[in-house]
Every structure is written in C-alpha cells, then in structure tokens.
Chains A and B, each alone.
Chain A
Amino acid sequence: AQSVSQHNHHVILSEAASLELGCNYSYGGTVNLFWYVQYPGQHLQLLLKYFSGDPLVKGIKGFEAEFIKSKFSFNLRKPSVQWSDTAEYFCAVTVNTGFQKLVFGTGTRLLVSP
C-alpha cells in the first residue's frame, strides 16, 4: 500500500532561517506529488505539485520542492522563512492510475519565531 512519511513532526525556526521538510513515499510506479499547507484557522491549500518534467518545482510564497525519484523523496524548501509561514505542512501522493485518492503524510508543524 502507498504510504507517505514526514520525518519532522515539529520544526521551530527563527525568521530568515532556511527550511527543508522531508517527505518520502513508498510506491514504485508513477506518482503525482503535492505539498499542502494549513495555516492556523484556514483551509488546506495547495503549495505546489509535481506531475512530470523538471523535478524542481516552484510553488507559491517562495516555496520549492525537488523530486528525487531514486530516493522516493519530495522535500520542501524555502531559503528564508517568515513568521507568516507558521503552519502545518502536508506532503501527499497520488498514483497516476485508477485509484483516485490522495495519501497524506502525518504533517509537520512549523513554528517561525520573529
């Protein structure tokens, strides 16, 4: 069965620090990869997605992620975080065949201190 692992459950950073959140998935076939963010009191919203092509994808608010197929990873990065990036971040995977669902990681809570 598909699974998604996010190894960092809680991350605390100071403003301007660099961020990297890990995401690994277990599925050997073709996958689509997503990062969603949930700001306090707000909806889940899409940060970025990878379907094919350039493995380095750029999303909203200065976030980017790199798909490394050999490592089954899709890590999220941001060079310089802001206090407003405080949120919970979810990595998710779908299989590009019949079964139509997102499999989510358990999430990483990021706290950015001013």
Chain B
Amino acid sequence: KAGVTQTPRYLIKTRGQQVTLSCSPISGHRSVSWYQQTPGQGLQFLFEYFSETQRNKGNFPGRFSGRQFSNSRSEMNVSTLELGDSALYLCASSFQRPSTDTQYFGPGTRLTVL
C-alpha cells in the first residue's frame, strides 16, 4: 500500500503571496489531518477533514484553510503569507477517526517564506 504523499516537498514564497499544498492519503483512509511543525512550537494541529467536511479546527488564523475532495485527497491553502508561516507542514491520514485509528504521516512540505 502506498503511503501518504505530499506535494510539493519544498516551496519558497515571499511575504504576501499565497500557497496551496496537496496531500494524498493512504487508499481507503477517509480522514486527513494537517499539522504545522516548527522548532519553537513543535507539532500544532491545523484541521481535520472527513468525507469532504472539516470536522475539527485548531487555533490558527483564517488565512489557513483547507478542503477535501471526494477521493479523500486534501489541500491546504495559506493566504497572505507571513515570515512566521515558514514551517514543515505535515499531512496525516487515518481510516476514520484520528482518536482511535493510527495516523500515518506524509513526508511533509517544507515552506520557506522570505
């Protein structure tokens, strides 16, 4: 079974731009979660999608948004980029419920904002 894939792996953007990151979950997994990983804050939960619906959201500003498609693939978008958005963005998929099913992580997208 193929693992969680994320594209692109690396991105360099400038302040004020917007960016879209993509995640393809493991086949059969319907829940997709997004996390931001930074050296100072560790892993912070962004949001979780299930069956094309945002089921949970973390404490991030509205500039961070996401969506899920009918094939469970997910995208997240960050608008009006700030320097502090530089981070590794991780996607994780699970069968149905992150609280009870194992979450499998992708390799991440490294975003650098200049």
Number of interface residues of B (CB under 8 A): 27
B41 to chain A, nearest CB (A): 8
Q: Mark B1-23, 1 if CB is under 8 A from A, else 0.
A: 00110000000000000000000
Residue of A nearest to B103 (CB): A102
Contacts of B31 in A (CB 8 A): 100
Q: A94-B99, A100-B55 are in contact. Are A106 and B105 (CB under 8 A)?
A: no
Residue of A nearest to B107 (CB): A43
Q: A100-B55, A101-B48 are in contact. Are A90 and B43 (CB under 8 A)?
A: yes
Contact A101 B58 (CB under 8 A): yes
Contacting A99 at CB < 8 Å: which of B50, B90, B99? B99
Contact A102 B98 (CB under 8 A): yes
Does A87 belong to the interface (CB within 8 Å)?
Answer: no
Which applies to chain B's interface (DSSP): helix, strand, loop or mixed? Answer: strand
Within 8 A of A (CB), among B63-114: 90, 92, 97-100, 102-108
Q: Mark A75-114, 1 if CB is under 8 A from B, else 0.
A: 0000000000000001010111101111111110000000
Contacts of A32 in B (CB 8 A): 99-100
Does A45 belong to the interface (CB within 8 Å)?
Answer: yes
Q: A43-B3, A43-B107, A44-B105 are in contact. Are A101 and B42 (CB under 8 A)?
A: no
Contact A102 B100 (CB under 8 A): no
Contact B99 A100 (CB under 8 A): yes
7 chain-A/chain-B pairs, Cβ below 8 angstroms: A42-B107, A43-B4, A49-B102, A90-B42, A102-B33, A102-B35, A102-B43
Listed in ascending order, the chain A residues whose CB lies under 8 Å from chain B are 32, 36, 42-46, 49, 51, 90, 92, 94-97, 99-107
Listed in ascending order, the chain B residues whose CB lies under 8 Å from chain A are 3-4, 31, 33, 35, 42-45, 48, 50, 55-56, 58, 90, 92, 97-100, 102-108
